[in-house]
Amino acid sequence: MALSGNFDEETNYLQMQGAKESEDGGLEIINVRVFVEDGLGTYSMYAINDEFTGYEKYSSLSCTYYYDQGNLGTVRITYLNTTKNIISGIFKMKLINPDCYVEEMIISEGRFDFAY
């Protein structure tokens, strides 16, 4: 999965997007947003509004899933080196869309490690 992201040390805002080709030749995208308030630790996902997209699939079975506002999910920052600009962690989230063929999606133990 190709990962792109940014961690802004002034605002402590972490945003990531991962993309990969799906089994049916389409594209799958995962979006993660979180405020990292105090370095290492576990933080709730940050959803700007009810329509924040957590997962998108573009193929013959296209569908978009949104963060469950009652259970946004979490990001656990396991490594943060502001000198070398490296951040790592694990995330989990519950995504919903009652209009999709599967109404609920749970992503657990998603991992990231990148230089920003």
Choice among 44-48, 72-76, 111-115 with the minimum mean pLDDT: 44-48
b/e 71-107 (16+ beta carbons within 10 angstroms → b): ebbbbebeebeeeeeebebebebbbbbeebeeeebeb
The 10s digit of each residue's pLDDT in 87-103 is 999 999 999 998 988 89
